[in-house]
Amino acid sequence: MLDKNTHPDDVVVKVRDLVFSRGSRRIFNGVDLDIRRGQVTAIMGPSGTGKTTLLKLIGGQLRPERGTIEVEGQNVAQLSRRKLFELRKRMGMLFQSGALLTDLNVYDNVAFPIREHTNLPESMIRDLVLMKLEAVGLRGARGLMPSELSGGMARRVALARAVALDPMMIMYDEPFTGQDPISMGVLVQLIDRLNHALSLTSIVVSHDVAETSAIADYIYVLSDGKVVDHGTPEALGRSQSQWVQQFMQGLPDGPVPFHFSAPPYGEDLLAGGKG
């Protein structure tokens, strides 16, 4: 299913035969995917398909039941805590909530990873922080507290923080959810621009088809614990799968039915009684 001609060095994240469950519910059942260097790769699928869980597995916050997840050739699940933290210094993650530290202002939030992992003088940290904030258009908001930011601004600050240590890869967890059109446009542009300007590799988890397709080089569509299709946005637009067509076009009925499973409507109305 995956492209066998891909050069191994081109693949930053390699997932093979991934199996993962939460309680008795199987989230992934044999997922294979490759995230290629320098590309924006989107992981799409309906809510509850485990897109965020996949990011946590790639980041080593969860361990798979079976299968392997390799980041830059290292099997994430088998890394020691120290080596995992070393790897994470080269990964950025943008959480859906932003996950800003609420007791620190915007400036200190962006400075946080730099202060934690380097011994740079404060004057240099200031320059770095202002550069990152300038890149997301929020240099003027550096004195604000997270509670004073809108949802879109909070995500832009989180994005500035995620790139603070110049990572090789960034994972975006539902970056467009709950954003107004302007904020959404800003975020779409920022993800695209940062990926190319900083030579990053980006993984965008989302179910916003139009916005994600506009910037993704490659898309994986997940459903029921498996990759149901993958390819470029154009290729997926021509997919033969009815399910993929329903998802990509946002059709209300199709392989995923509008109605939840129920007895016939007429019978139900005539049955009387309660509930």
Partner 1 sequence: MMDALAKLGRGALDFFERLGRGHLFLMYVLAGSPPLLLRLRLWTQQMYSVGVLSLLIVAVAGLFVGMVLGLQGYNTLVDFGSEESLGVMVALSLVQELGPVLAAVLFAARAGTSLTAEIGLMKTTEQLSGMEMMAVDPLQRVIAPRFWASFVSVPLLAAIFSAVGVFGGYFVGVGLLGVDDGAFWSQIQSRVDFHEDVMNGVIKSVVFGFVAAWIALFEGYDAVPTSEGVARATTRTVVHTSIAVLGLDFVLTALMFD
User: Partners of 230 in the beta sheet?
Assistant: 220
Contact 187, 176 (CB under 8 A): yes
Does 139 bind partner 1 (CB under 8 A)? Our answer is: no
Least distance to partner 1, CB of residue 175, Å: 14
Applying CB under 8 A, which of residues 72, 112, 137, 214 lies at the interface with partner 1? 112
3-state secondary structure of 269: helix
Does 89 bind partner 1 (CB under 8 A)? Our answer is: yes
Select 19 or 84, whichever has its Cβ closest to partner 1. 84
Select 198 or 214, whichever has its Cβ closest to partner 1. 198
Residues in the chain: 275
Work out the angle between the directed axes of helices 151-162 and 106-117 (0-180°, nearest 10). Answer: 20
Q: What is the CA radius of gyration of the chain?
A: 21
Binders in 21-60 for partner 1, by CB under 8 A: 56, 59
Does 100 bind partner 1 (CB under 8 A)? Our answer is: yes
3-state secondary structure of 45: coil
Does 97 bind partner 1 (CB under 8 A)? Our answer is: yes
Does 161 bind partner 1 (CB under 8 A)? Our answer is: yes
Tell me which stretch binds partner 1 (CB under 8 A): 24-32, 98-106, 231-239, 244-252: 98-106
Distance CA 76, CA 198 (A): 24
Least distance to partner 1, CB of residue 126, Å: 19
Least distance to partner 1, CB of residue 82, Å: 10
Tell me which stretch binds partner 1 (CB under 8 A): 15-23, 38-46, 94-102, 251-259: 94-102
- From the list 254, 234, 232, the residue with the least C-alpha distance to 243 is 254
Does 151 bind partner 1 (CB under 8 A)? Our answer is: no
Buried (b) or exposed (e) across 184-219, using 16+ Cβ within 10 A? bebbbebbeebbeeeebbbbbbbbbbebbbebbebb
Least distance to partner 1, CB of residue 248, Å: 29
Does 147 bind partner 1 (CB under 8 A)? Our answer is: no
Does 61 bind partner 1 (CB under 8 A)? Our answer is: yes
- From the list 38, 42, 22, the residue with the least C-alpha distance to 173 is 42
Does 86 bind partner 1 (CB under 8 A)? Our answer is: yes
CA–centroid distance for 38 within its chain: 15
Edge-to-edge strands, sheet with 218-223? 91-94, 169-173, 201-206, 40-44, 218-223, 226-231
Tell me which stretch binds partner 1 (CB under 8 A): 100-108, 121-129, 215-223, 257-265: 100-108
Applying CB under 8 A, which of residues 2, 19, 79, 99 lies at the interface with partner 1? 99
3-state secondary structure of 228: strand
Residues that bind partner 1 (CB under 8 A): 56, 59, 61, 81, 85-86, 88-89, 91-93, 95-97, 99-102, 112-113, 116-117, 158, 161
